[in-house]
Each structure stands twice: as structure tokens, then as C-alpha cells.
Amino acid sequence: MYRLILASVFLFSAVAASYGQAPREFSGKLDPQLSPDMVHVYERVYHAAALSGFRFETAPPDGTVVSAGALIDYRSASNKTLMLIVEPPKGKPFLWVDGNANGIYETAEQFPMSPVEGTNQLSTVIRLPIKNAYFKDYPIYVRYFRGFSHPDLAATDRLIEQSVYSLAYGRVQIGDRKVLFQYPFPPGENGINPTEGLFGVDVDGNGRIRDEQFSVETSYTSGQEAVFPLGDIYVSTTRIEMSTGTITVRRREKSDYTRVDLEVGREMPDFTFTDLAGKERKLSDFRGKYLMVDFWGVWCGDCTRETPFHLEAYKRFRKRGFEILGVDSDESIETVKAYIAKNKMTWPQATNDSTKRLQQVDYRLQEYPSTILLGPDGKVLVLNQRLLRGDTLLQTLDRFLPK
């Protein structure tokens, strides 16, 4: 009997192997260097400073113009590091950062800038040292808007934009494809947590990851692994070994993929919410209107900067069938009520408590504001965020709405 059972086991194994059992785990490796996150960039103003206020290994020549400001730098406990824009009387401008924090601006800590094609701007990637088992430095992209002027800026002020996050990329062999994966890298921690932050996968196989709101290729997650569709399977990263850079990805069930994907031309699924008056409502209540669904919050400076444009859009286009549904993300309902009253925002608002799952699980919003324009049939007209910001919003509405 034992031999018969043993023979049956061998036969089953052989048959399973011949049909090719799908592996449950896949492995890959991180790229050797981090990359700056070029999507989330912020502007900063730097101010004129005297050379005498700094210690240099080799002092710049007389006549050098120096501007100083706080570089957003998540390596440091204060999340900032002093950076200098140095413009010598002869030669090209460069950036100077005390990367090792010894109080001296050393020659090796200078970062030359290159021209941005077709503009008067200059840019570079600063690489600052970090203590990590795998990565040796932390990249920050900086663009200097040389010659920029604004009524609110002094003639000696300088405008820059910089990246604030860095990303780790890696390739994982899945079937006959080597798939590109993207991971958040917090420089103050020793490793990459596969359940926290903004993750990405090259779902369509074009060699790039489309990192933008509502993209199927990026997903923000907190407390659980981000699941992505990949052909006819679903995958998530389960661990990353920083000592070797080894990535382990596991296969997931279709039921694990709970995110709601949006595409232009497809209907936005209905959802229920409670408005600020305590009334339960539905997205479908707005059928027949050109509806802008705006995920926002009073806490979000980028959101409140859009308020004047929303007010103008509501005033200008409401008679042409335009409506706004705000989906608030503030923890305090009194905060949003006070802001709305102060700014005379009369359009409907969904409370945070009634839409938390919608924001955090269904759409896994990666930043605020996140805005969608729907047609009267409830289908998505616009997902491109640049078309729904500032003055461009007004142009977009004028193009889509009936005259």
C-alpha cells in the first residue's frame, strides 16, 4: 500500500509539472540608485544672503551673488537643509549644500546646473549622503527659474522648484516579462515598508509608470499591500530585503483587488454620502448635470488655492448645466462648515465620515485636490488634473459645456 501511495504522489507531481503550476511568488532586484519623484514638486523662494554668513572650504570670488533658502530634506530631523544658489561674476551658477552637516560648505558639495532646453532655466539632481544598507545617497531634483520676476518678489529673490520625495525602482521577472515596480523610500527609515506609501507597477508594459491621480499604475496604501492587475493575474509586493535589494512579489486573488478604476468615457460608479446638513444623497442624484467631483480639504493649501476659480466657475457656468460636488477630507466637520460659510461656497459637500472608504480604499487617492469632470450621463469627461486647475478649469468648462 505504501508503494502505491508513493507512486500516486509521484504521478500527481509529474502531471502538475507538465501542465505548469502558476508560481505564487516572484523575485526581482532594486535598481542601485534612488530616483527623485518628479511628480510631487514644490516651489520655494530664496533670498539674498551675505557671503560672510557662511563658512567655505574655498570662498567664492568677490562679486558673487548668493541666495539662501531651506531645501526640503527628509533626511534631517527638521526636514530641511540650508541650500545656497551661487552666481559667480564669471562662470555658471551652481548649488551648494552642506550635505554632511559639518557646518562647512566644501568644494565636493557643489552641484553644477545644466540648461533646461528651450528656457532660461537651470536644473540638477542633488545627491546627498544617507545611511542605508543598499542605497548610498538621496536624490533631490532642483530647477532654478533664472530671471523670474513677480510683483510679490524682490529683485534679489530667486525662485526654485524641488522634488520632495524619492522613489526606488526595481524589476521583477513575472512569466516572460521583467516588470518595472516603484516604491516609496523614506530616508529616515532603514527599509521600505510594503504597506505604506505610494506604489507603482508598469501595468501596460510600456516601460514607464504613469504616476498621476486615478492611474491604474499607481496606488496609495496604508496598512495593507497595494494590489495591481497585471495581465490576467493580480500581484502585490510582500517584502524587500534591503541588505541585498531583493524584491518578493506574490500572486493575489482577483477579489483582493478592491480599487475602483476610472477611465475617460466610462461611467463613474454610484456612491452614497451624507451632506453637511445630514441628508443622505447619491452621486446619481446629479444625473443630467455636468458635475465636477472635487476631493479636497481645508487643511490642503493646494485645494484652497482653487477656491476662487471654483467660485468663478460656479457663477459663470451654472446656467449651462454645471454643478460641483465637494468631497471633504477634513477630520472636523466644523472646520469645513466655517470655511464654506466664509467663502460663500453654496454647492453640495459630502462629509469626510461618509466617504472615507471612497477616498482611501475605492480610489486610493494619492494627493489632494483630485478632481473629476463628469458628463450628464455620469461618464468621465476629464481626468487630466492640469485641465481642472486654475484659469484652465474655466477654459475646459467652456469647451465641454453647451453654449
Between residues 150 and 10, which one has the greater pLDDT?
Answer: 150
Element containing residue 324 per DSSP (H, E): strand 322-328
Can you tell me the distance from the alpha carbon of 276 to that of 350, in angstroms, rounded to the nearest whole number? 7
In the predicted model, is pLDDT for residue 3 greater than 70? no
Dihedral pair phi/psi, residue 397, rounded to 5°: -65, -40
Given this model, what pLDDT does residue 371 score?
97
- Whether residue 221 is predicted with pLDDT greater than 70 in this model: the reply is yes
- How many helical (H) and strand (E) elements, i.e. helices and strands, does the chain have? 6, 25
The CA distance from 136 to 128, in Å, is 8
The mean pLDDT value of the chain amounts to 92
Tens of pLDDT along 98-127? 988 899 999 999 999 999 999 999 999 999
Number of other CB atoms surrounding residue 355 within 10 Å: 20
Residue-wise burial string across 270-294, b where 16 or more C-beta atoms lie within 10 A, e elsewhere? ebebbeeeeeebebeebeebbbbbb
Question: Is the per-residue pLDDT at 5 higher than 60?
Answer: no
What pLDDT is recorded for position 188? 80
Question: Does the pLDDT value for residue 207 go beyond 90?
Answer: yes
- How does pLDDT run across 315-354, given as a tens digit for each residue? 999 999 999 999 999 999 999 999 999 999 999 999 999 9
Burial class (CB within 10 angstroms; exposed 0-12, middle 13-18, buried 19+) of 339: middle
39 falls in which pLDDT band (50, 70, 90)?
confident
* Cα 342 versus chain centre, distance: 30
190: confidence class by pLDDT, cuts 50, 70, 90 = confident
pLDDT at position 11, please?
35
Angle made by CA atoms 331, 42, 183, in degrees to the nearest 5? 75
What digits encode the pLDDT tens for the residues 371-391? 999 999 999 999 999 999 999
Using DSSP bridges, classify how beta strands 218-222 and 228-230 pair: parallel, antiparallel or unpaired.
unpaired
Question: 14 pLDDT exceeds 90?
Answer: no
DSSP secondary structure code for residue 298 in this structure:
T
Q: Which candidate, 287, 320, 291, 325, places its Cα nearest to that of 398? A: 320
| Count of C-beta atoms within a 10 Å radius of residue 167 | 23
Annotated domain spans of the chain: 23-33+167-256, 41-163, 272-400
Architecture per CATH, domain 272-400, reads as 3-Layer(aba) Sandwich (3.40)
pLDDT category at 9 given cuts 50, 70, 90 is very low
Per cent of the chain over pLDDT 70 is: 95
Beta bridge partners of 218: 200
Does 72 have pLDDT greater than 80?
yes
Environment class of residue 208 by beta-carbon count within 10 Å: exposed (0-12), middle (13-18) or buried (19+)? exposed
Confidence category of residue 22, pLDDT binned at 50, 70, 90: low
Cell numbers at residue 379, please? 461618464
What does the pLDDT read at residue 189?
82
Specify the residue for cell string 516651489: 43
255-312 pLDDT tens trace: 999 999 999 999 999 999 999 999 999 999 999 999 999 999 999 988 999 999 999 9
Cα separation, 120 vs 87, whole angstroms: 14
The answer on pLDDT for 83 being more than 90 is yes
Report residue 220: phi and psi, to 5°.
Answer: -90, 135
Strands of 63-185 (E only): list them. Answer: 65-72, 80-87, 94-97, 110-112, 114-115, 122-129, 137-144, 158-163, 166-174, 177-185
Residue 40's pLDDT is what?
85
The SS3 call for residue 386 is helix
Helix axes 307-317, 390-400, angle to 10 degrees: 20
Strand partners, 282: 272
